Chain A
Amino acid sequence: DAGVIQSPRHEVTEMGQEVTLRCKPISGHNSLFWYRQTMMRGLELLIYFNNNVPIDDSGMPEDRFSAKMPNASFSTLKIQPSEPRDSAVYFCASSSTSGGVDTQYFGPGTRLTVL
């Protein structure tokens, strides 16, 4: 199994530009989570999906952030327009609710730098 796949691994952009982060969950997993990690705030849950449906987006910082999951094998997190304070590492994680307690498996992350 390839694990959770995220792209790009690194993104450097200028303030005001649109940024799109991508995630492919583990095949067969039906829950997907987007997290943000910074030194100041630690690991924050932004949004999560069950069966491709957004369940809780209360962690999304503001309307500049949006996330979609058009099918079971793909999700995007978009920031438009980006700001320097969005600089962080963004993680995607997936889990399966079948067969018992769901362990979340994380991708390698996307390191975003907004100049």
Chain B
Amino acid sequence: KAGVTQTPRYLIKTRGQQVTLSCSPISGHRSVSWYQQTPGQGLQFLFEYFSETQRNKGNFPGRFSGRQFSNSRSEMNVSTLELGDSALYLCASSWTSPGTDTQYFGPGTRLTVL
């Protein structure tokens, strides 16, 4: 079974631009979570989607948004990029919920904001 995939793997943007990241979960998984990983901050939860609905949300500004499609693929968007948005963005999928099922991570998208 194919694992979680993310595209693109690397991105370089400038301040003020916007970016869209994509995540394809493991086949059959309906829950997709997004995390921001920076040195020293660990894995900061952005949001979680289940059946095309945002079920949980972390403490990030409204510039961070996401959506999930009927095939469970998910995208996250960051508008008006800031230097501090430079990070590794990880998505993870699970059967129904990360609170009960094993969560599998993708390889991440490394975003650099100049």
Do these two chains really belong together in a complex? no
